[in-house]
Structures are given as structure tokens and as C-alpha cells.
Structure 1
Amino acid sequence: MTRQEATHAQRIPLNRDRVLRAAVVLADAIGIEALSMRRLAQELDVVPMALYKHVANKEELLDGMADAVVGEVDPPAAGPDWQRVVRDRILSARRALLRHPWAARVIESRTGPTPAVLAYLDSMAGTFRGGGLSADLTHHVMHAMGSRLLGFSQELFDTSASAASAGPPDPALAAAYPHIAELASTAAHDGGTTPNGGCDDQFEFEFALDLLLNGFETLRREGWTSTRTP
């Protein structure tokens, strides 16, 4: 970059969008734990107080960063196959979160859904309703999908490298938890998206997603309702 170009870049006015985009890039580079208002100000070559004209505090910055990541999710495609529309959109959300590994924790840590998250969830509910699911069923579907709607899920098992390379389960643990030991010894660990032979996280994610979507379609065809008769 020439001196003239650098001078021009420095004259680009600071705004909320620029602050949030810079924060996302910085968090990708150094991790969310290392991100601070001071560090972000250094990255933007401004004094820290300049940031507070656009975000009131660190929590508002994190809210905006969450919205910026959710904004990367593809819009819903047109078409009558609601399952395909939902599946593709959730996998788009997952790709966005894989690009920004810190984002899932930030979204989970918010005390309430941010505007972009609310808009995304609202559009997903609209897709379910447009696919013929009743409002009642859609309500329960949204609960069942949970964080998976946003492209991540809470996993039951530790698939870190240390766990994956630990070898056969301890005999005492295997005796106490025989079914877990059975799963550990019979599961196909062929690499996938997890290094060192851990569970294939992408496969497990898509398997559960497809299972849920197929189940929702079955309930829709059956005219399922949560109303209970005595």
C-alpha cells in the first residue's frame, strides 16, 4: 500500500459496520478471549474512546458481532420442498460458524436473541409454516431443533485429539458404563471433519439434522397436535 493509499484508508470514517467487521476479523485471528476494545482500537488505528460512539460497551460489541456472523447465512431458497430449504439454510449457518469458531459461544452467551438472530429464527419459523406445519407443531419443532437451527449443537462426547487417541477404555470404566464402552469400540472413526480419528462431527450433525427433519414431516402428514385428550 502506498503512502497515499494508507492516508486515504485512514480517512475512511469509522462507523458501526466497520467496527463490527473489524472485530469479527480480529476475533478470527486472535480468538474471542483476547479481543478487547483497546486491541480493536489499535487494529483500526483509533483511540479506544472512538469506538464507544458506535458500540456502548464490550457486550454491545459482541451482540453486533453475533449479528454480523448470522448475516452471513444464505437467505432461504425458493421452492416447495421445505425440508431441503431448511436443511440447506442450517448447513449454511454451520459453514458460517465454522468460519468463525468463536461465534457459537458468543451467541450462546447473549442474555437474549439479537436482532439478526431473531430475524433468522422468524424466517425459519416461516419456512416451517409455509411447508404446511401447524403453528403448534412449528413451536415444538423450534424447541426440538434448538441451537441446531443456528448451525451448532451441544455434543455428548468429547471428540478431542486426547480423547480420540486414548486407546481402549479403562476396564473399570467399561464395566461401570458398558453401553458407552460399546459405542466407543464400535463407532466408525474414519477421520471425517475431526482430526486424529475422532467422531466425524459433520456426519453426526447432518445425521441428526436429517433425522429431525424426516420426523417433522411424518408428524405433519399425521396432523400431529400437542393437544392432549383426557
Structure 2
Amino acid sequence: MAQARPADPTAPRSPVPPRTPRPERPALTRERIVAEAVSLADGSGLAALSMRALAGRLGVEAMSLYHHVPHKDALLDAMVDAVFAEFHAPVAGRPWREELRRRSVVGREVLLRHRWAVGLMDARRSPGPEAVGHHDAVLGCLRRAGFSLAATGHVFALVDAHLYGFMVQELALPFADQEELAVIEGEIVDEATAAAFPHFTEFAREHALRPGWSFGAEFEVTLDLVLGAVAGLVDEDAAGEGDIGAATPVEVTVPVLGVDGCKAGWVGALLEPGAPRPRVVVAATVAELVEAVRESADVRVVGIDIPIGLPDSTTRRADALARQALPGKASSVFTTLTRAAYAADDRASADTVNRSLSGQGVGSQAFALRAKILEVDAWVRSRPTVEVLEVHPEVSFATMAGAPLLPGKKTAEGRAARLEALAAAGVARPSVLEGRGYAADDVLDACAVAWTAARRATGLSRSLPDPPEVFSDGIPAAIHA
């Protein structure tokens, strides 16, 4: 056998490839464990949560978890505490009704994200600091507002029963939208059923299946009924001083858009979280405006200065209540015509139709906006995937300033008053005030509408009337502020 030659010590050696460093895992902490457990429950439900499954997602051995959470019950306590941290904590000294309303509206949004948590929120025997702190904030808000200890208990129990009870029912519904509801209705309501259960059939066909209805939309309407019912329990003489009025700077938590008509078509004021001032956008149609804005911002609420929800044979309560809210400026609110009147081709025909239905004549301003009203009506009835509100800028300005702004909006004095009111309410001077096809008063009105849309997104807005009227078109008719 041939012997192997010894290696030549002078020959160049092949370079040793460098070691690939192992990727560093994030440190295993209690916060990371809880966050991953919440994510697992959000995606797969609470039944899928086990210490072994959680360890697998974190890339560790199950025993490693017990250095941070002693057992699964402690993990559930921490998960519920993390959910409470996402709730709005009412602030003592601010208007109690607005604070509790926002707490419930935000709470519903949180529980829709964490559906597994609904039955656990007040069921843990060892609540964490976020849970205790949240309850303390609610109690403090009610006590500061003038509720006795007994009344505070009544209100807290009723508001929680509404929130958690509604969520249990909403999450258990066997349908996700009106299309699925229509299928179910078609399967269970035959002619025999309709004859035997006329009220059930009437509600299903004449209300629940109307365009725009959803069970979730009942949440805020019923919440306002609850808050209105307990308002009589407050002792005004015992209320703390220093309540913060409506001009408290608005908190922009999600992108919202305020829209006003102008010569060019429509002008919008976009408010975004963290943005220093409103961004002004212009388009020929409201649909084009909203779509243009949504290319760069996930707008959640669109407020529009135009009547939404047209009556059949009456006037609207929204218009009458808005006039009552504007002493000295009531003339800025015109009476919305009936749907049939807006379908007429000219003012004379519209006047004849409207008088025959509601007994009201047709003003020039009301009919001059016919094209824009019908445009927005058609757009809303197309079911855009965004919440749409009717907003009257003068009502919004009066809400933020505490009184109507009497100087005309087209005057220098009126412009200054509106800029001052917006600044005090947390809306900075917009990026531009006027341009081709739109004037300064159009932009400032759009900003006021955006302010109300931001209040709606945080659960603070009010509606006139409350709850809204609903006519044959199925669209809630109310002016928000």
C-alpha cells in the first residue's frame, strides 16, 4: 500500500470559514410571556392556551415559564390585567357621562380584539394593578361627580352589566353581517312562522334587514339610555369643583376626516394621531375625497356637513334640536326637505311636494344643496366601509367654545374666533386656509367637523336627537357634536 505523502508545510492553507453567530433570542421576561399568551388567545381562543403551547411559541422549555409565572392561573390574571390596561380610565373632574361613555365605547373595541377575555374581566380572585387601578378610576370619577357611595355602586354595576352583557350577546350571534342575517331569516321565517310570530317577523324584515342596520350599532344607543337613566342619581351639590368643559383638547386616537362642501366640490380636513395640524384635501366628489385620503390614512370616521337620513313626510328632530342649541345663530340651520321633494327637478315642484307631505315650504338654501345632499345620500346608501356622521359646524363650534360663535364665518372677526376655538379644542391652524375652489370658512368648517369626528372615535360625541331618528331609508338621522 502506498504511503500518504506528508503535507507540505509551505503550501497555503484553506481559510477556515467564519462561524455564523447564533441569532440572539429576546430575553424571556414576564411581559413577553404575557404578551405572547394574549396573542395566542386572540388568534386561537383560550382553549388553545397551555403552558406547553406557549413555551413552543416562545422557543423555550415549558419549565422556563414558571420562573416568571408560577402557574396558569397567575398567567390568566396577568392576561386580564393586560386587557384592562387597554381600557380608557375615566378622569375624575371631567364630565362623568362623557368619561363613562368613552370607557364603555373603548372597552367594547378592546373586547372585540380580545374576545376570550369577556367572561374573565371581573372574575379573577387575584386582580392585578391595572384592574384595580381601572376600578379605582371609575369610582373616583363617579364620586367626584357627586354620586353617593350607594349610587356609585348602582351606576358601576349597571354600566358593567351593559358592557359585558352586550359583548356576550354580540360575540355569540350566529351571523356576522346583514347578508348572513338575511340567509338565516330566509331559512327560519316561512309563511307559517310569519303568521304565528308576526312581531318577530316584523322586526326582522322591517328593521334588522333595513340598509345600514347592525347589532353592534345598538351598543352606543343603549349605552346612552343607561347613562341617561342613572343621571338622576347624581347630587349636583356634592359634585367636585373644576369640571373640565367640552373645550378640553380633543385626543386624536385614529385618523378621522371632516368634510364640507365648497365650489370645487368637497374640502376635507384630515386629523391623524401625532400630526401637528390638519391636512387639507380637495376633490370633486365626496367618494373621490374619501378614497384619496384612505390611500395614505386608515380613516375610521368621516363627518360631513350635509343632511344624512332624509325624512318621508315630516321635518327632522335633528334640525329643530340644532337650532335650539344655537341661540342667536339658529338661522344657520335649515330644515331638511323630504326625500320626495329632493327628487323634484326644480324648486317650485319641490315646494309643492314638500308642502303636501310635511306642511313646510322649500327655502332657497335647502334646495340649493339638493345635488350635494343626493350625492352624499347615494354614497351612504352604497355602504362605504367607514363610519359616516352628519355634523353641523356651528353646533360643533358652540360645543367646543361653550356658546355659539356669533360673528359671521366669512368675516375677519369670525375667522379669528373660529381659529381660537379650534386651537383651544386641540386642533391647530390647518396647513392651508384657502385655495382654488375653496375658501377659509370652508376649511374651518371642515376642521370643526373633523373635531367632532375625533370625539366620535373616542366615544365623547353627542347626537341630536339621542337616539337618532330613523326614516324609511334606514339611515340614522342625527347631528353630532
Which residue of 1 is the match for residue 152 of structure 2?
A: 138
CA offset digits 1:96-143 (Å, max 9, x no partner): 2122222214436x3547233333223212211111122111111122
Q: Cα distance, 1:69 vs. partner?
A: 1.1
Which residue of 1 is the match for residue 183 of structure 2?
A: 165
Give the letter for the 1:160 counterpart: F
Give the letter for the 2:54 counterpart: L
Question: Aligned partners of 1:208, 1:123: CA distance in 2, in Å?
Answer: 23
Give the match's secondary structure for 1:83.
helix
User: Are 2:256 and 1:216 equivalent residues in the alignment?
Assistant: no
Question: Aligned partners of 2:222, 2:148: CA distance in 1, in Å?
Answer: 22
Instruction: Provide closer, same or farther for how the CA distance between residues 78 and 219 of structure 1 changes in structure 2, counting only shifts above 3 A.
Output: closer
The unaligned stretches of length 5 or more in structure 2 are 1-19, 238-481
1:102-181 alignment, distance < 5 Å: 102-107=116-121, 110-112=123-125, 114-115=127-128, 116-149=130-163, 153-155=167-169, 158=173, 160-161=175-176, 163-168=181-186, 169-174=189-194, 177-181=197-201
Given candidates 86, 95, 117, the residue that maps to 2:100 is 86
Aligned length: 211
Question: Aligned partners of 2:165, 2:83: CA distance in 1, in Å?
Answer: 11
Question: Aligned partners of 1:46, 1:62: CA distance in 2, in Å?
Answer: 19
Give the letter for the 1:125 counterpart: L
Given candidates 55, 64, 68, the residue that maps to 1:41 is 55
Given candidates 32, 53, 59, the residue that maps to 2:73 is 59
Contact preservation (8 Å) 1:93, 1:150: no
CA offset digits 1:167-214 (Å, max 9, x no partner): 35245544554433332233244576xxxxxx6233111111111111
Question: Aligned partners of 2:119, 2:80: CA distance in 1, in Å?
Answer: 10
Give the letter for the 1:98 counterpart: L
Query: What is the RMSD of the two structures over their aligned residues, measured on CA atoms?
Result: 3.1
Contact preservation (8 Å) 2:118, 2:168: no
Q: Cα distance, 1:152 vs. partner?
A: 5.1
TM-score by length of 1: 0.76
Instruction: Provide closer, same or farther for how the CA distance between residues 78 and 126 of structure 1 changes in structure 2, counting only shifts above 3 A.
Output: closer
TM-score by length of 2: 0.39
Instruction: Provide closer, same or farther for how the CA distance between residues 170 and 135 of structure 1 changes in structure 2, counting only shifts above 3 A.
Output: farther
Which residue of 1 is the match for residue 204 of structure 2?
A: 184
User: Are 2:23 and 1:6 equivalent residues in the alignment?
Assistant: yes
Greater alpha carbon shift after TM alignment, 69-78 vs 80-89: 69-78
Instruction: Provide closer, same or farther for how the CA distance between residues 59 and 163 of structure 1 changes in structure 2, counting only shifts above 3 A.
Output: farther
Question: Aligned partners of 2:136, 2:92: CA distance in 1, in Å?
Answer: 16
Q: Which has the larger radius of gyration?
A: 2
Instruction: Provide closer, same or farther for how the CA distance between residues 173 and 144 of structure 1 changes in structure 2, counting only shifts above 3 A.
Output: farther
Which residue of 2 is the match for residue 28 of structure 1?
A: 42
Question: Aligned partners of 1:113, 1:163: CA distance in 2, in Å?
Answer: 40
Determine what percentage of the aligned residue pairs are the same residue. 37
Contact preservation (8 Å) 1:91, 1:151: no
Structure (1 or 2) with the greater strand fraction: 2
Question: Aligned partners of 1:113, 1:167: CA distance in 2, in Å?
Answer: 44
Give the match's secondary structure for 1:72.
coil
Q: Cα distance, 1:77 vs. partner?
A: 4.2
Which residue of 1 is the match for residue 89 of structure 2?
A: 75
Instruction: Provide closer, same or farther for how the CA distance between residues 123 and 189 of structure 1 changes in structure 2, counting only shifts above 3 A.
Output: farther
CA offset digits 1:42-76 (Å, max 9, x no partner): 11111001111222222221221111111112333
Give the match's secondary structure for 2:46.
coil
Give the letter for the 1:25 counterpart: S
Question: Aligned partners of 2:228, 2:34: CA distance in 1, in Å?
Answer: 38
CA offset digits 1:17-66 (Å, max 9, x no partner): 22101111222233322222111101111100111122222222122111
Contact preservation (8 Å) 2:148, 2:235: no
The unaligned stretches of length 5 or more in structure 1 are 193-198, 224-230
Which residue of 2 is the match for residue 15 of structure 1?
A: 29
Question: Aligned partners of 2:115, 2:90: CA distance in 1, in Å?
Answer: 23
Structure (1 or 2) with the greater helix fraction: 1
Contact preservation (8 Å) 2:34, 2:78: yes
Question: Aligned partners of 1:66, 1:117: CA distance in 2, in Å?
Answer: 8
Question: Aligned partners of 2:120, 2:182: CA distance in 1, in Å?
Answer: 27
